[in-house]
Structure 1
């Protein structure tokens, strides 16, 4: 999953400097630098600091109800909103995305689901579409 070499086809090694634990629920937008592991829940947009090679990991316990943007993203939980990835996105087997995914490189494991469009971003122009407010899908993203 992680690579310390300069492989353009994988997630770059980043320090996961921040953890949102499984019993934490944040309401509001969240901006991070370096790396963020999401085991808890966020209702709001989650974004890596622009211009940095950030890494967001959403574990199988994690859930985000809002738009997501980062350099590299690994999802094994639930995201209800659009996901914009500057470099590489990995959807692991428990991933559930209810929204569109904009990416340069994509890896999707068996069992992952996406209810939205997959759109490859041109790496030369680095054009990333602006994201609207998170969609209302009427689906409860938290299962206990």
Structure 2
């Protein structure tokens, strides 16, 4: 998956310093730096810290119901929401994305599915103007009742 050669067309290796384990369900947004491996479930947006060359890995057991944004993203699980990737996105054979993908570079394996638009960003563009979460993921009310 990762090589020691510096290939600008692939994922930059990052330290996966954070793990959301298989039996964990998080309700709320997550912001991370360096690397995050997602084996569990998240209901909320998952975002790499702006300015970091962050790596998000969603394993075949992992699922995110919210928008995703990071420098590099590898998906082999399920994402229901828009995915914005500053550098490289890899959709492995078990990936299921129900939302739009905005990317610089894309690799998609046989078996991966996307229900949404694939939009290549030019090198000067980092993200679309606005990603309305309500189009794909219903708005969640976290306020106290």
Normalised to the residue count of structure 2, the TM-score between the two structures is 0.90
Tell me by how many angstroms 1:131 deviates: 1.6
**What residue in structure 2 maps to residue 62 of structure 1?**
62
Tell me, which stretches of 5 or more residues in structure 2 are unaligned?
Answer: 139-145
* Alignment coverage as a number of residue pairs: 136
Tell me by how many angstroms 1:96 deviates: 0.0
Tell me by how many angstroms 1:74 deviates: 0.2
The answer to whether 1:23 aligns with 2:17 is no
Tell me, which stretches of 5 or more residues in structure 1 are unaligned?
Answer: 138-144
Runs of at least 4 residues off by over 3 Å: none
Work out the CA distance in 1 between the residues paired with 2:34 and 2:126. Answer: 22
| 8 Å contact from structure 1 (residues 3, 10) kept in 2 | no
Work out the CA distance in 1 between the residues paired with 2:46 and 2:132. Answer: 13
Tell me by how many angstroms 1:6 deviates: 2.1
Tell me by how many angstroms 1:91 deviates: 0.2
> Which structure 2 residues correspond to residues 80-119 of structure 1 after superposition, within 5 A?
80-119=80-119
3-state SS in 1 of match to 2:106:
strand
Normalised to the residue count of structure 1, the TM-score between the two structures is 0.91
Work out the CA distance in 2 between the residues paired with 1:85 and 1:79. Answer: 14
The answer to whether 1:122 aligns with 2:122 is yes
Work out the CA distance in 2 between the residues paired with 1:23 and 1:113. Answer: 25
Work out the CA distance in 2 between the residues paired with 1:127 and 1:106. Answer: 15
Tell me by how many angstroms 1:4 deviates: 3.1
